[in-house]
């Protein structure tokens, strides 16, 4: 079957899949200006870039309820899951349709169309026979590894995410870090805590930062071209941002590095930071607000204070210590505010959890962990 990659109602390119649906082959590029950004910066290997782009529109098999979701939608693989909703995402304005389909962007986008209440995707499932496997939802094209769902609440689109592992600490971390970011001078996404009673899950909730006109371009797409050997990952990313007209970005990137060091973020991968783009003019607007901070604060360590991964990073260097070398002395933050109020923040957020998986002693250790690291960074 032949498919069309669409950008809203712009036909971008025609492609087909191999029999095993493991490789997309480009038949014809119809609008080169609208190709995904990783194809734009990687013009000599467009087919590989297209496949990388499509791969990011699948639920990863590493998600703990992946098999349950496949059973819900009666799909044999992640491709079928994603194509049920034309690979429509909340993050950007690309989608895929069969070439013989007459469906349009107004028919499929979830800014204007309802999102089914998919809270069932967060928790355990015992009523599969009552679920409509043909319902369209952006939640089958969401690449995150945590159990998560997009939902409409009035005019807003919200993302709810559950925790994993022993402590299910990620939602708590998102809310705590959101409060800590109030002492920074940088755009960030505010998280609050909620509880899904039907699924017995504490979740973090945040607003969508894309809309009908603005889409998200992750850092991995912006840097898909080959990095020169004599250039660091950080400088390569900065150079790419500059090439797209984003020049006033140094302070925000440096503050992101400092934040990740403060909270021992283990997961600032190149899919959870990037830039915002006007999907009609194709002009870049600015960097995304800081978001997705849950895999931090010793979230999977038996002891928060003796967390072996406290210096591990996956953004611009392998450790936070090395990343701090990219930070200039001009970054000024309210360290006293963080030091004086972090215990209060932690206790307040802990008291909002319903039947938390971990005790108040661990919450206090998290507060102490933040406090000690803030004192060290203040002197740095």
Taking only the tens place, the pLDDT of each residue in 262-285 is 999 999 999 999 999 999 999 999
3-class secondary structure for 294-362?
Answer: CCCCCCCCCCCCCCCCCCECCCCCCEHHHHHHHCCCCCCCCHHHHHHHHHHHHHHHHCCCCCCCCCHHH
Q: How far apart, in whole angstroms, are the C-alpha atoms of residue 291 and residue 225? A: 25
pLDDT of residue 130: 63
For the chain, which domains are there? Answer: 214-379 (1.10.1070.20)
pLDDT of residue 20: 73
Q: How far is CA 359 from CA 144, 258, 300, 349, 366, in A?
A: 27, 28, 14, 13, 11
Give me the phi and psi of 104, to 5 degrees please: -120, 170
pLDDT value at 128 more than 70: no
CA angle 75, 77, 80 (to 5 degrees): 60
Taking alpha carbons only, the member of 312, 318, 292 closest to residue 216 is 292
Q: How confident is the model at residue 129 (pLDDT cuts 50, 70, 90)?
A: low
Q: How far apart, in whole angstroms, are the C-alpha atoms of residue 135 and residue 347? A: 41
pLDDT value at 361 more than 80: yes
Alpha helices in the chain (DSSP H): 37-40, 46-55, 66-72, 78-83, 105-108, 170-180, 219-222, 233-243, 250-263, 320-323, 335-350, 360-379
Q: How confident is the model at residue 121 (pLDDT cuts 50, 70, 90)?
A: confident
Q: How confident is the model at residue 126 (pLDDT cuts 50, 70, 90)?
A: low
pLDDT value at 321 more than 90: yes
pLDDT value at 75 more than 80: yes
pLDDT of residue 197: 80
pTM of the full structure: 0.95
Question: b/e per residue, 174-203, with b = 16+ CB within 10 A?
Answer: bbbbbbbbebbebebbebbbbebeebebbb
Give 220-232 pLDDT, tens digit per residue.
Answer: 999 999 999 999 9
Q: How confident is the model at residue 120 (pLDDT cuts 50, 70, 90)?
A: confident
Q: How confident is the model at residue 56 (pLDDT cuts 50, 70, 90)?
A: very high
| Rounded mean pLDDT, 317-326 | 97
Q: How confident is the model at residue 124 (pLDDT cuts 50, 70, 90)?
A: low
Residue 192 region by backbone torsions, left for phi larger than 0, else alpha for psi between -120 and 50, else beta? beta
Q: How far apart, in whole angstroms, are the C-alpha atoms of residue 272 and residue 5? A: 23
């Amino acid at each position: 079957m032949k498919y069309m990659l669409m950008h809203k109602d712009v036909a971008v390119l025609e492609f087909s899949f191999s029999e095993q649906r493991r490789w997309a082959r480009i038949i014809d590029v119809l609008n080169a200006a609208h190709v995904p950004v990783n194809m734009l910066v990687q013009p000599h290997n467009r087919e590989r870039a297209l496949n990388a782009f499509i791969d990011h529109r699948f639920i990863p098999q590493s998600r703990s309820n992946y098999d349950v979701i496949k059973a819900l939608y009666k799909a044999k693989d992640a491709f079928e899951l994603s194509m049920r909703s034309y690979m429509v995402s909340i993050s950007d304005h690309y989608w895929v349709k069969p070439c013989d389909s007459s469906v349009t962007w107004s028919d499929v986008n979830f800014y204007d169309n309802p999102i089914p209440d998919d809270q069932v995707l967060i928790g355990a499932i015992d009523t599969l026979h009552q679920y409509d496997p043909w319902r369209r939802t952006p939640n089958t094209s969401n690449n995150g590894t945590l159990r998560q769902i997009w939902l409409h609440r009035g005019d807003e689109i919200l993302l709810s995410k559950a925790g994993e592992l022993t402590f299910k600490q990620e939602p708590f971390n998102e809310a705590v870090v959101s409060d800590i970011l109030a002492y920074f001078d940088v755009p960030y996404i505010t998280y609050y805590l909620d509880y899904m009673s039907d699924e017995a899950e504490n979740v973090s909730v945040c607003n969508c930062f894309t809309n009908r006109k603005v889409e998200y371009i992750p850092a991995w797409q912006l840097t898909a071209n080959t990095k020169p050997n004599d250039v660091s990952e950080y400088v390569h990313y900065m150079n790419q941002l500059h090439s797209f007209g984003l020049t006033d970005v140094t302070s925000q990137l440096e503050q992101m590095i400092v934040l990740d060091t403060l909270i021992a973020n283990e997961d600032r991968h190149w899919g959870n930071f990037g830039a915002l783009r006007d999907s009609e003019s194709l002009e870049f607007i600015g960097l995304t607000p800081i978001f997705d901070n849950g895999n931090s604060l010793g979230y999977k360590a038996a002891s928060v204070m003796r967390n072996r991964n406290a210096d591990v990073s996956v953004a611009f260097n392998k450790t936070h210590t090395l990343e701090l070398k990219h930070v200039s002395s001009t970054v000024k933050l309210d360290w006293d505010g963080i030091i004086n109020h972090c215990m209060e923040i932690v206790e307040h957020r802990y008291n909002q959890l319903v039947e938390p998986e971990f005790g108040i002693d661990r919450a206090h250790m998290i507060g102490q962990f933040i406090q000690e690291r803030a004192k060290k960074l203040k002197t740095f």
